[in-house]
Structure 1
Amino acid sequence: MRLGTQVLKWMLLAIAMIAISACSTTLDKKTVFEDNGLAIKGYDPVAYFSQQKAVEGSPRYTTTYGGVIWRFSSATNQMTFMKNPQAYIPQYGGYCAYAMANGYVVSSDPQAWHIRDGKLYLNYSKGVRKTWLEDADAYIRRADKSWQEKLTADQQS
């Protein structure tokens, strides 16, 4: 039975890497992932910290920061964000943290999230997040390096 579990794990990892490769892109001066102009696909970045869950934002509570629109589930969360946006913006601009650790720029799913050391990380899917969590510290070190390299290359182009 253990062999079957390992095979399944490797198959899921292979599928995730294929998805990452198929969806990868360059930064092209975009430092925040957006979908139809919305950061985090319209989810409230403050709610991950205050409610420990992914909460959809409302068109009623919005602000523009970093060239994209951020939505919030309440006026309180909106004001909290506006006081210190950098505390709530997902790492790597909201692109998939696992993909970034592997040198790719890939979209993320707001439901596939993780907070570590006061920072929000998003992943491509919940399955990818599971892999990410197996060695998040090592992935963070690699993703930090990859993100800085991409930002530097983007600035030079």
Structure 2
Amino acid sequence: MLTRRTFVLTAMAAPAAGLLATPALAMTPEVFAVDGLAIRGYDPVAYFKEQTDVEGSAEHAIMWKGAEWRFASAENLADFEANPERWAPQYGGYCAYAVAKGYTAKTEANAWSIHNDKLYLNFSRAVRARWALNKEGFIKDADANWPQVLNA
């Protein structure tokens, strides 16, 4: 017989039981990609060599860490292949400011900066301006949060 007490206890237990039966939430991908393209198809090496955001080409592309990386030239592709960690943006291309704050956020290819020979991307140019006010502090926080924020 269903009494008020057993109804309340059953109702309270049901969500907890559901949590136990639910598969683990999928982890956020290690690399931020839009339509499978890292940095929205922009060339990570060009940020360093040309000091600007340059669109890559499907002609010069590779798969790395589950995303397609595009390059403006065969030379930039070869440089990346030789040492991808040297050229890839920090924190998988997620917004560096967001990672510093403990979460992930998308980025725009034109909201970037290089600091201590590392590429950082941000959600927008406005966020990049905020990031620039305390890069060292935000990098320290983001380094402490990465890659755990992928599970948040």
Same fold (TM over 0.5): yes
Does 1 or 2 have the higher relative contact order (CA < 8 Å, sep 6+)? Answer: 1
Residue of structure 2 in register with 1:22 after alignment? none
Residue 119 of structure 2: SS of its match in structure 1? strand
Equivalent residue runs for 1:73-88 within 5 Å: 73-88=72-87
In structure 1, the residue matched to 2:53 is 54
State the structure with more CA Rg. Answer: 2
Q: Distance in 1 between matches of 2:33 and 2:76?
A: 20
Structure 1: 5+ residue stretches without partners: 1-25
Deviations 1:108-149 (A, max 9, x none): 011000001111000000000000000000000001111143
Q: Give secondary structure in 2 for the equivalent of 1:28.
A: coil
SS state at 1:131 partner: helix
Letter in 2 for 1:51: E
- Structure 2, unaligned runs of 5 or more: 1-24
Question: Does the 8 A contact of 2:107 with 2:122 survive in 1?
Answer: yes
Q: Distance in 1 between matches of 2:56 and 2:148?
A: 32
Q: Give 1 or 2: higher helix fraction.
A: 1
1:71 equivalent to 2:70? Answer yes
1:40 aligns with 2:39: yes
Which whole-Å deviations, capped at 9, do the CAs of 1:59-84 have from their partners, x for residues lacking one?
11101111110000001101110000
- After TM superposition, the score normalised by the length of structure 1 is 0.78
1 CA distance for matches of 2:60 and 2:47? 16
Q: CA deviation at 1:29?
A: 4.7
Question: In structure 1, how many angstroms separate the alpha carbons of the residues matched to 2:43 and 2:27?
Answer: 25
Percent of aligned positions with the same letter in both sequences?
Answer: 46
Output one character per residue of 1:14-73: Cα deviation in whole Å (capped at 9) or x when no partner: xxxxxxxxxxxx981511000000000000000001101100001111011111100000
RMSD: 1.6
